[in-house]
Amino acid sequence: MPARILTLLLLALCAWPAQARTATARIGSLEVAGAELDGVVVRLSWPAGAAHGELSIQAARIAAPALGPEYRQVRWRCPLSHDGAGAWHCAGPLQGRGGARMHLAVDLSSVCTGARLSQGNARLQLRREAVAPDVTRLDLVRVPLLWAQALLQRAWTQASVGDGVADGTIVVHTPPRQPLHVEGRLDVDGLALDTTDAAVAVAGLDGAIGFDWLQPDTGPARIVASGEVRDGEVLVGNTYVAIAGRPAGFALEARQQADGGWRLPRLALRDGDALQVEGDASFAADASLRALSLQARSARLAALPERYLSGWLGLAGLSGLELDGAADATLQVSGGMLQALDARLHDVSMRDPRDRLRIEGLAGELRHRARGAAQGRLSWREGALYGLAFGAIELPLASRDGVLRLRAPASLPMLGGELRLLDFALDPGGAEGLRLGFGLELDGLDVGQLSAALGWPAFRGSLDGRIPQARYASQRLDFDGGLSMRVFDGRVDVSALSMERPFGVAPTLSADLSLHGLDLEGLTGAFDFGSITGRLHGRIDGLRLVDWTATAFDAWLHTEPAPGVRQRISQRAVQDISSVGDASFVGSLQGRLVALFDDFGYRRIGIGCRLANEVCRMSGLHSAGAGFTIVEGSGVPRLQVVGFNRNVDWPTLVERLAAAAAGDVAPVVD
C-alpha cells in the first residue's frame, strides 16, 4: 500500500483549499497514478485561531493493480499544521479494514515531499526533492517483507511471503516518457517464502541483495541483481541447500521475453571451494526450464553431499554418501533433457555409508552426448563392491546418441584374479529408467578371498566364467552364460544367474548350481564337519538368496564312487549328520557301538532338501520304513544313517549346521 497511496493522499491534500474552516469533499471515484480510489471523503476542520487543524481522509476502496490487492475502508486522521513558511505537517494513525494499525506522517514543503509510514519498529520513509521530482527515495528499516507480497506476486504468482524483514534503500526513477527504473540495496533478515505447489521454499534466509530493475510501460523488463546469502535454508524441487552460516554469493541478469518467459543471460553462484557455477538459462512463462547451460567447478567435492545433494541422495536411498576430490563440468540441458555433459574428475572418491560400494581415485573425463558422439576415459585406483575389493581399471568410453559405451575391453584385478569387462552400454534415459548392458569374463578369482570377504567357511579354489551379456533394467540384473567355480578339486557351475534390486531393498540373487566331483575331505574339512572322503556330485536348482540368505532351493547332493577314491566317513561326521538330519542309526550296527570306531566305510551318501517357506523337505537315497536312508554303509561294521523327520524347520537346521561346524554337537544315538 504505502508509497503510491501515500502520494495519492498527498495529492488530494495539496488540492485542498487551506483557508476553509470546515470542509468536506466527497469524491465518487478518483484515478491517480495507476491507482483507483472509490468513495473518498476528505474532511478538514480548522477552528478559527487554532494552531492546527484536523485532517481526515477516508477511502472505501483503494485499488492499485500494480501493487496488488485492494484495500478497503482506509482511514487516516491527523492534526494538520503549518509553519508559516509554506511547509505542512500531518501525522496520525492509518488503518484499513482487517489491517494492522499503522502510523503515517506527511511533510509537504516547497523543497521536498516526505512521508513516513511506521508500525512497531518497522519504518518506511519516502522522500522526494522538489528539484528532482522524478526521483523518489525509499528508506526501509525493519520493514516486513509481507508488505512486498503484492509486488512479488505480480512477477511470481505462485509465491507467498511469510516472515522476514528488510533494511535498505530503494530509489525509484520515474522520468517522463522513459521506463520505470528501480535500483536499491536491501539487507534481508529471516525471509520465509513458499510457492503454492511447494516446489520452492525458503526459510530463515539472511542475506543482502543489490538490484537494478528497468520496467518499460509496454515492453519486457530487465533485472540485474547480485548479493550474498549468509544463513537459512532453500529448497528448490529436490535440491535442498542449508546455507548454515557459510555465506555464498550470487549474481543474475534476467530479461523478460515477449512471450512472458525469461532469459537469464547470466547466472552465477560463488560458494567458496564447494561450488562455483556460471551459466545462462531460459524459462518459459510457466517457469518451466527451457534451456540451461552451466559451467560448474568444485574444488572440494566433500562439501557437496551435505550442502547441495542431500535431497537427491535421500530420494535415491544414498543418504550419507561421502565424496572427496575435485571435479569440474559443463552441461547443457534443453527440452527437459541433458544434451551434453563434459565432466572432468580429479582424484574423486565415493563411499556408500552402508558399504555397498566404494571407489577411490576416480579420475578422467566423462563425456555424454544426447546427439552426436564424444570420447572420454575414466579410471580408478581401487574400490570394493559389497566388501569385495577390486583394483585399478582404465575405461575408454564413447558416447553416441545418448548411449555410453566401452571402446575396448578393460581389465580389473579382483580377488587375486582378473575380471574383464568385454563391453558395456549405459542408456541413462531409457523409458523404464536406466538401462545397462555388459559382458564379463572372470579369470582365476580366488575363492578363498571370496569366502573370507563374504564370511563363508574357508573354501579354497578358483572362480572362472564368461557372461557374454548381462542386462540391468527395471531393478533387475540378468546374466546370460554362467560361471564356473573350481573348488575342492571339483567344479561348481553356476547358471541362470539373476539379481533383483542389486543395490536396493532386500537384494535377491537367483541361480542354478551344479556340483561335479567335489572332494568331500576338503569340503568337510572347510566346514569342520567331521571328515568324509569321496566325491560329491549334485545340483542346487532354483537357489534364491534374499538379503544374502537362502530362502528357496531344490537340492540333491550325493556321492559317486571314483576310481582310487576311498569312501570313508568319520565317527564325528556321522554324529554331525545325525544331529543335523534328525537321523538315527539302524542296521547291523548298534547305535552305542558308533563311539567305538573312528571311521566307517560307506557305499553311498545322498541327501536332498527342498526349501520353501522356511521348511526343508528332506529326502535320502531311498525310503527306509518310515524314514529315508542318508548314508548306506559298506563293509564291517556296516553303518546306515536314516532320517525320520522329513520336514525340517530351516532356521533350526541352519543353527544345527552351524553348531556342528563349531563342534558343539552332542551325539544323538538311538
Partner 1 sequence: MRRLLGIPVLLALALCACVTINVYFPAAEAREAAREFVEKVIGEEGDAPAPEAPPPGDGGMAVHRLRFDPFVLLGIGSAQAQDTPDITIRTPAIQAIQARMESRFNSVLRPHFDSGALGFVDDGTIVVRDASKLAIKDRVAVNAAVADDNRDRNAVYREIAVANGHPEWEPQIRQVFARQWIASARPGWWYRQGGAWKQK
The least CB distance from residue 201 to partner 1, in Å, is: 5
Beta bridge partners of 210: 185, 226
User: In terms of CB distance, is 499 or 641 closer to partner 1?
Assistant: 499
Q: Which residues contact 322 (CB under 8 A, 6 or more apart)?
A: 302, 305, 349, 350, 351, 353
260-269: long-range contacts at Cβ-Cβ below 8 A with a sequence spacing of 24 or more?
260/285, 261/285, 261/290, 267/294
Longest dimension (CA), the chain: 141
The least CB distance from residue 244 to partner 1, in Å, is: 11
CA distance 586 to 642: 7
Quote the cell numbers at residue 506: 532386500
Q: Which residues contact 526 (CB under 8 A, 6 or more apart)?
A: 457, 458, 459, 460, 488
CA distance 263 to 279: 12
The least CB distance from residue 262 to partner 1, in Å, is: 24
User: In terms of CB distance, is 214 or 241 closer to partner 1?
Assistant: 241
The least CB distance from residue 545 to partner 1, in Å, is: 10
Cis peptide before 561 (omega within 30 of 0): no
User: In terms of CB distance, is 26 or 617 closer to partner 1?
Assistant: 617
User: In terms of CB distance, is 93 or 317 closer to partner 1?
Assistant: 317
C-alpha neighbours within 13 Å on the C-beta side of residue 229: 20
Q: Which residues contact 162 (CB under 8 A, 6 or more apart)?
A: 146, 192, 193, 194
CA distance 583 to 606: 13
User: In terms of CB distance, is 135 or 546 closer to partner 1?
Assistant: 546
User: In terms of CB distance, is 504 or 663 closer to partner 1?
Assistant: 504
User: In terms of CB distance, is 198 or 626 closer to partner 1?
Assistant: 198
Q: Is 352 helix (H, G, I), strand (E, B) or coil?
A: coil
Cα(first)–Cα(last) distance of the chain, in Å? 98
The least CB distance from residue 191 to partner 1, in Å, is: 12
The least CB distance from residue 237 to partner 1, in Å, is: 10
User: In terms of CB distance, is 49 or 245 closer to partner 1?
Assistant: 245
User: In terms of CB distance, is 203 or 299 closer to partner 1?
Assistant: 203
User: In terms of CB distance, is 17 or 245 closer to partner 1?
Assistant: 245
Q: Which residues contact 579 (CB under 8 A, 6 or more apart)?
A: 656, 659, 660, 665, 666, 667, 668
User: In terms of CB distance, is 45 or 510 closer to partner 1?
Assistant: 510
The least CB distance from residue 505 to partner 1, in Å, is: 4
Q: What amino acid occupies position 435?
A: R
The least CB distance from residue 193 to partner 1, in Å, is: 10
The least CB distance from residue 355 to partner 1, in Å, is: 18
- DSSP letter (8 states) at residue 221: -
Quote the cell numbers at residue 477: 540384473
The least CB distance from residue 316 to partner 1, in Å, is: 8
- The residue written with cell numbers 560458494 in the block is 271
Q: What is the 3-state secondary structure (H, E, C) of 603-652?
A: EEEEEEEEEECCEEEEEECCEECCEEEEEEECCCCCCEEEECCCEEEHHH
User: In terms of CB distance, is 240 or 459 closer to partner 1?
Assistant: 240
The least CB distance from residue 212 to partner 1, in Å, is: 30
CA distance 402 to 428: 8
Strands 388-390 and 393-400 turn out to be unpaired
User: In terms of CB distance, is 216 or 314 closer to partner 1?
Assistant: 314
The least CB distance from residue 614 to partner 1, in Å, is: 7
CA distance 434 to 474: 8
> Exposed, middle or buried: residue 264 (CB in 10 Å: 0-12, 13-18, 19+)?
middle
The least CB distance from residue 383 to partner 1, in Å, is: 24
Residues that bind partner 1 (CB under 8 A): 194, 196, 198, 201-203, 233, 235, 238, 240, 310-311, 314-317, 319, 500-501, 504-506, 508, 544, 546-547, 549, 551-552, 612-614
Where does 284-402 show beta strands of DSSP type E? 289-298, 322-334, 337-351, 357-369, 373-380, 382-385, 388-390, 393-400
Query: Nearest Cα to 130, choosing from 105, 107, 153, 151?
Result: 107
The least CB distance from residue 592 to partner 1, in Å, is: 39
User: In terms of CB distance, is 91 or 192 closer to partner 1?
Assistant: 192
Q: Is 107 helix (H, G, I), strand (E, B) or coil?
A: strand
> Exposed, middle or buried: residue 345 (CB in 10 Å: 0-12, 13-18, 19+)?
buried
Where does 431-534 show beta strands of DSSP type E? 433-446, 461-473, 476-479, 482-487, 490-500, 508-519
User: In terms of CB distance, is 174 or 475 closer to partner 1?
Assistant: 475
The least CB distance from residue 219 to partner 1, in Å, is: 35
What stretches of 290-337 show up as alpha helix (H) in DSSP? 304, 310-315
The least CB distance from residue 240 to partner 1, in Å, is: 5
User: In terms of CB distance, is 194 or 324 closer to partner 1?
Assistant: 194
